[in-house]
Protein backbone atom coordinates (compact mmCIF):
# COMPACT_ATOMS: atom_id res chain seq x y z
CA UNK A 1 0.00 0.00 0.00
CA UNK A 2 2.84 2.37 0.86
CA UNK A 3 4.51 1.59 -2.45
CA UNK A 4 1.28 2.32 -4.33
CA UNK A 5 0.80 5.60 -2.47
CA UNK A 6 4.42 6.57 -3.16
CA UNK A 7 4.03 5.86 -6.87
CA UNK A 8 0.79 7.88 -6.95
CA UNK A 9 2.43 10.81 -5.16
CA UNK A 10 5.40 10.69 -7.56
CA UNK A 11 3.10 10.67 -10.57
CA UNK A 12 1.10 13.59 -9.15
CA UNK A 13 4.28 15.57 -8.49
CA UNK A 14 5.56 14.90 -12.01
CA UNK A 15 2.17 15.89 -13.46
CA UNK A 16 2.27 19.17 -11.55
CA UNK A 17 5.89 19.92 -12.42
CA UNK A 18 5.55 19.56 -16.20
CA UNK A 19 2.72 22.11 -16.03
CA UNK A 20 4.59 24.53 -13.80
CA UNK A 21 6.18 27.81 -14.88
CA UNK A 22 9.62 26.46 -14.00
CA UNK A 23 9.26 23.56 -16.43
CA UNK A 24 8.38 26.02 -19.22
CA UNK A 25 11.22 28.41 -18.37
CA UNK A 26 8.95 31.26 -17.28
CA UNK A 27 10.94 34.07 -15.71
CA UNK A 28 14.30 32.76 -16.93
CA UNK A 29 16.61 34.86 -19.08
CA UNK A 30 18.74 33.29 -21.84
CA UNK A 31 22.47 34.08 -22.18
CA UNK A 32 23.06 36.45 -25.09
CA UNK A 33 26.23 37.26 -27.07
CA UNK A 34 26.00 40.88 -25.84
CA UNK A 35 23.99 42.35 -22.96
CA UNK A 36 20.80 43.87 -24.34
CA UNK A 37 18.11 45.73 -22.41
CA UNK A 38 14.61 46.27 -23.80
CA UNK A 39 14.08 48.55 -20.81
CA UNK A 40 16.71 50.95 -22.19
CA UNK A 41 16.06 50.63 -25.92
CA UNK A 42 12.26 50.44 -25.87
CA UNK A 43 11.20 51.81 -22.51
CA UNK A 44 13.62 54.75 -22.25
CA UNK A 45 14.68 55.50 -25.84
CA UNK A 46 11.34 54.61 -27.45
CA UNK A 47 12.82 52.36 -30.14
CA UNK A 48 10.11 50.76 -32.30
CA UNK A 49 10.02 46.94 -32.04
CA UNK A 50 10.02 46.70 -35.84
CA UNK A 51 13.43 48.35 -36.10
CA UNK A 52 15.10 45.20 -34.75
CA UNK A 53 12.36 42.64 -35.47
CA UNK A 54 11.83 43.64 -39.08
CA UNK A 55 9.75 40.64 -40.18
CA UNK A 56 7.11 40.80 -37.47
CA UNK A 57 4.39 42.34 -39.67
CA UNK A 58 4.70 40.06 -42.69
CA UNK A 59 6.68 36.91 -41.91
CA UNK A 60 6.33 33.83 -39.75
CA UNK A 61 9.45 34.77 -37.77
CA UNK A 62 9.77 38.24 -36.27
CA UNK A 63 13.48 38.23 -37.05
CA UNK A 64 16.42 39.15 -34.86
CA UNK A 65 18.67 42.19 -35.26
CA UNK A 66 21.72 41.81 -37.44
CA UNK A 67 25.18 43.14 -36.60
CA UNK A 68 24.60 45.92 -39.14
CA UNK A 69 21.40 46.95 -37.34
CA UNK A 70 23.09 47.19 -33.95
CA UNK A 71 26.31 48.81 -35.14
CA UNK A 72 24.44 51.27 -37.32
CA UNK A 73 23.69 53.12 -34.08
CA UNK A 74 26.41 51.91 -31.75
CA UNK A 75 29.34 52.85 -33.95
CA UNK A 76 28.26 56.44 -33.41
CA UNK A 77 26.64 56.19 -29.96
CA UNK A 78 28.09 54.44 -26.92
CA UNK A 79 30.61 52.33 -28.82
CA UNK A 80 32.06 50.07 -26.11
CA UNK A 81 34.67 48.07 -28.03
CA UNK A 82 34.90 44.98 -25.82
CA UNK A 83 31.15 44.72 -25.39
CA UNK A 84 30.40 44.88 -29.10
CA UNK A 85 33.25 42.60 -30.21
CA UNK A 86 30.84 39.73 -31.09
CA UNK A 87 29.00 42.10 -33.44
CA UNK A 88 32.19 43.27 -35.10
CA UNK A 89 33.29 39.63 -35.52
CA UNK A 90 29.96 38.63 -37.05
CA UNK A 91 30.13 41.54 -39.47
CA UNK A 92 33.72 40.77 -40.48
CA UNK A 93 32.93 37.08 -41.06
CA UNK A 94 29.61 37.71 -42.79
CA UNK A 95 27.93 35.50 -40.20
CA UNK A 96 24.67 36.07 -38.32
CA UNK A 97 24.65 37.12 -34.68
CA UNK A 98 23.83 34.03 -32.62
CA UNK A 99 21.05 35.29 -30.37
CA UNK A 100 19.49 32.88 -27.86
CA UNK A 101 15.73 32.55 -28.30
CA UNK A 102 13.66 33.00 -25.16
CA UNK A 103 10.41 32.00 -26.86
CA UNK A 104 11.44 29.05 -29.02
CA UNK A 105 8.51 26.82 -30.01
CA UNK A 106 8.78 23.12 -30.95
CA UNK A 107 9.42 22.31 -34.60
CA UNK A 108 5.96 20.77 -35.03
CA UNK A 109 4.25 24.05 -34.09
CA UNK A 110 3.42 26.48 -36.88
CA UNK A 111 3.27 30.08 -35.69
CA UNK A 112 3.04 33.16 -37.89
CA UNK A 113 3.86 36.55 -36.37
CA UNK A 114 2.42 38.43 -39.34
CA UNK A 115 -0.97 36.74 -38.97
CA UNK A 116 -1.20 37.61 -35.29
CA UNK A 117 -0.10 41.22 -35.81
CA UNK A 118 -2.63 41.56 -38.63
CA UNK A 119 -5.26 40.32 -36.20
CA UNK A 120 -4.51 43.25 -33.94
CA UNK A 121 -2.46 41.55 -31.24
CA UNK A 122 0.29 43.63 -29.68
CA UNK A 123 3.72 42.29 -28.78
CA UNK A 124 2.87 42.41 -25.08
CA UNK A 125 0.01 39.93 -25.49
CA UNK A 126 2.52 37.09 -25.74
CA UNK A 127 5.81 38.65 -24.67
CA UNK A 128 4.67 40.71 -21.70
CA UNK A 129 5.91 44.17 -20.72
CA UNK A 130 9.21 43.90 -22.59
CA UNK A 131 9.75 47.65 -22.34
CA UNK A 132 10.32 47.16 -18.61
CA UNK A 133 12.72 44.21 -18.90
CA UNK A 134 16.45 44.81 -18.39
CA UNK A 135 16.89 41.18 -19.55
CA UNK A 136 14.28 39.49 -21.70
CA UNK A 137 12.39 36.70 -19.96
CA UNK A 138 9.40 34.56 -20.83
CA UNK A 139 6.27 35.66 -18.96
CA UNK A 140 3.83 33.07 -20.33
CA UNK A 141 4.41 29.32 -20.73
CA UNK A 142 3.34 29.35 -24.41
CA UNK A 143 2.09 25.82 -23.95
CA UNK A 144 -0.62 24.37 -26.16
CA UNK A 145 -3.19 24.99 -23.42
CA UNK A 146 -2.12 28.63 -23.07
CA UNK A 147 -2.42 29.22 -26.83
CA UNK A 148 -5.81 27.49 -26.98
CA UNK A 149 -7.16 29.70 -24.20
CA UNK A 150 -6.70 32.64 -26.56
CA UNK A 151 -7.78 30.80 -29.71
CA UNK A 152 -11.08 29.76 -28.12
CA UNK A 153 -11.96 33.41 -27.47
CA UNK A 154 -9.55 35.64 -29.43
CA UNK A 155 -11.69 38.74 -29.19
CA UNK A 156 -11.13 38.87 -25.44
CA UNK A 157 -7.44 39.68 -26.19
CA UNK A 158 -8.06 42.12 -29.04
CA UNK A 159 -8.54 45.89 -28.81
CA UNK A 160 -12.07 47.06 -29.78
CA UNK A 161 -10.97 48.37 -33.18
CA UNK A 162 -9.41 45.03 -34.24
CA UNK A 163 -12.06 43.40 -36.38
CA UNK A 164 -9.82 41.09 -38.37
CA UNK A 165 -8.49 37.69 -37.38
CA UNK A 166 -5.94 36.35 -39.86
CA UNK A 167 -5.02 32.68 -39.74
CA UNK A 168 -1.75 30.97 -40.71
CA UNK A 169 -1.69 28.11 -43.14
CA UNK A 170 -4.25 26.66 -45.49
CA UNK A 171 -7.31 28.25 -43.89
CA UNK A 172 -5.96 31.78 -44.38
CA UNK A 173 -4.76 30.96 -47.90
CA UNK A 174 -8.19 29.67 -48.84
CA UNK A 175 -9.99 32.70 -47.44
CA UNK A 176 -7.50 35.26 -48.73
CA UNK A 177 -5.58 37.92 -46.79
CA UNK A 178 -7.46 39.62 -43.99
CA UNK A 179 -10.23 37.05 -43.69
CA UNK A 180 -12.70 38.02 -40.99
CA UNK A 181 -13.51 35.70 -38.12
CA UNK A 182 -17.12 35.40 -39.32
CA UNK A 183 -16.05 34.42 -42.83
CA UNK A 184 -13.63 31.81 -41.55
CA UNK A 185 -16.27 30.46 -39.17
CA UNK A 186 -18.50 29.82 -42.19
CA UNK A 187 -16.18 26.95 -43.09
CA UNK A 188 -17.77 24.37 -40.84
CA UNK A 189 -15.66 21.39 -39.79
CA UNK A 190 -17.20 18.59 -37.74
CA UNK A 191 -15.61 15.61 -36.03
CA UNK A 192 -18.09 12.85 -35.23
CA UNK A 193 -20.85 15.45 -35.29
CA UNK A 194 -19.02 17.94 -33.03
CA UNK A 195 -18.12 21.20 -34.70
CA UNK A 196 -14.47 22.30 -34.34
CA UNK A 197 -14.00 26.10 -34.27
CA UNK A 198 -11.52 27.38 -36.90
CA UNK A 199 -8.86 28.60 -34.49
CA UNK A 200 -8.80 25.34 -32.53
CA UNK A 201 -8.42 22.98 -35.48
CA UNK A 202 -5.23 20.95 -35.31
CA UNK A 203 -4.14 21.96 -38.81
CA UNK A 204 -4.20 25.65 -37.85
CA UNK A 205 -1.07 25.30 -35.72
CA UNK A 206 0.35 21.84 -36.46
CA UNK A 207 1.88 20.54 -39.66
The band of 9, judged by pLDDT with boundaries at 50, 70 and 90, is confident
The band of 84, judged by pLDDT with boundaries at 50, 70 and 90, is confident
Instruction: Give the pLDDT confidence of 88-113 residue by residue, as tens digits.
Output: 899 899 898 989 989 988 889 999 99
pLDDT of 15 reads 64
DSSP codes joined into one string, 100-139? PPSSPPPTTB---HHHHHHTT--HHHHH--GGG-SS-BB-
Q: 88 vs 166, which has greater pLDDT?
A: 88
* Position 145 pLDDT exceeds 70: yes
pLDDT of 25 reads 67
pTM: 0.71
User: Which range (70-79, 121-130, 159-168) has the least confidence?
Assistant: 159-168
The length of the chain is 207
The band of 81, judged by pLDDT with boundaries at 50, 70 and 90, is confident
Q: Which of 8-12, 26-30, 149-153 has the highest mean pLDDT?
A: 149-153
Instruction: Give the pLDDT confidence of 29-78 residue by residue, as tens digits.
Output: 888 888 889 999 999 999 999 999 999 999 999 999 999 999 888 888 87
Query: Helices then strands (H, E): number in the chain?
Result: 11, 2
Domain boundaries, the chain: 25-31+106-205
Alpha helix (H) ranges present in the chain? 2-18, 38, 49-52, 67-74, 85-93, 113-118, 123-127, 144-152, 170-175, 181-185, 202-205
Residues 32 and 100: beta-carbon distance below 8 Å:
yes
Continuous segment of H or E residues that includes residue 194: strand 194-195
Q: 23 vs 204, which has greater pLDDT?
A: 204
Amino acid sequence: MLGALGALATAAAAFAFVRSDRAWGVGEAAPQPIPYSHQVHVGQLGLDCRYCHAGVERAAAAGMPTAETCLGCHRAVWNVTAQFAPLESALALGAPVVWSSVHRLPEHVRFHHGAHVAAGLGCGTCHGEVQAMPRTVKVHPMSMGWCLDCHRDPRARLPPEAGIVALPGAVADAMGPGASARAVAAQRVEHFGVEIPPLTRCSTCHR
